[in-house]
Amino acid sequence: MAQDKAPAMCEKAACPNIGECWNKHHAAMMILGSVCTRACAFCNVATGTPDKLDPHEPENLARAIKKLNLKYVVITSVDRDDLLDGGVSQFVKCIEEIRKITPETTIEILTPDFLNKKGAFEAIAVASPDVYNHNIETVPRLYAKIRPRARYFHSLYLLKMVKQTNPKLFTKSGLMVGLGETKEEVLQVMDDLRNAEVDFITIGQYLQPTPKHAKVDRYITPEEFEHYNILLILKDF
């Protein structure tokens, strides 16, 4: 990370909602480099040999947030399966530096699954961001196609354990639709996340970032989204 400059995940992932969020002084910053060790079928972030960790990244990130006057920031990262702790220590340092330099900023942490990294997500929960987000992404049946190196029930376990580790934390997860899932499968994911004590769920239309990524199966209608919204309210999200 360059001095006083943080790479925005919004740009790296070619997010179509970038203008709406940035206009509200919200942004997602990506740490741990710009190259991922995984190759999920929906994600536009580059896959390959990861960058070396920048020891000054936490401080530079906090300075960038202050300079941009961000009211709300999401700190996310590439998957770093090559690191012993998956990059957890860098997440913790970033939280600490943001609290020190710009304590008024609300911090949401959006983490990978830290598969096979013992104690990883619990350590971030103890560092007490305002929100701990880990996206479930899709329904279990589509994991082999969409998230081939991830495990659905591990992600549920992560969210459950974060809440148990720090009950004061808000937990959050996101689900993409339009990948070929059924309505019944979406409802099951809602129930699974409710059982994992997740506080907030976001449901959004999957958009294909490039022709090489997973194709859009269909576009969900506004009426269907409204139906999902009603169900989330009924399920106490």
162-178 pLDDT, tens digit per residue, is: 999 999 999 999 999 99
- Asked if residues 98 and 105 have their Cβ atoms less than 8 Å apart, the reply is yes
Whole-number Å distance between alpha carbons of 115 and 13 = 22
Residue 5 has pLDDT above 50, yes or no: no
Residue 236 CB partners (closer than 8 Å, separation 6+)? 194
Residue 3 has pLDDT above 60, yes or no: no
Whole-number Å distance between alpha carbons of 120 and 115 = 9
- Under DSSP, the state recorded for 141 is G
Whole-number Å distance between alpha carbons of 26 and 74 = 8
Residue with tokens 């409802």: 187
What local confidence, expressed as pLDDT, does residue 11 receive? 64
Residue with tokens 């709300």: 72
To the question of whether residue 40 is assigned a binding role by annotation, the answer is: yes
Q: Where are the domains of the chain?
A: 9-174
Joined together, the tokens standing for residue 59 give: 């401080």
Whole-number Å distance between alpha carbons of 54 and 165 = 28
Can you tell me the mean pLDDT for 70-93?
Answer: 94
- Asked if residues 214 and 142 have their Cβ atoms less than 8 Å apart, the reply is no
To the question of whether residue 21 is assigned a binding role by annotation, the answer is: yes
Top-tier CATH class for 9-174:
alpha beta
Can you tell me the mean pLDDT for 20-46?
Answer: 84
Whole-number Å distance between alpha carbons of 78 and 45 = 8
Put simply, whether the predicted model's pTM sits higher than 0.85 gets the answer yes
pLDDT tens column, 56-72: 999 999 999 999 999 99
Residue 31 has pLDDT above 90, yes or no: yes
Strand-pair partners of 30 = 76
- Type and span of the H or E element at 131: strand 131-133
pLDDT tens column, 106-153: 999 999 999 999 999 999 999 999 999 999 999 999 999 999 999 999
To the question of whether residue 94 is assigned a binding role by annotation, the answer is: no
Can you tell me the mean pLDDT for 16-24?
Answer: 68
Please tell me whether residue 109 adopts helix, strand or coil conformation: strand
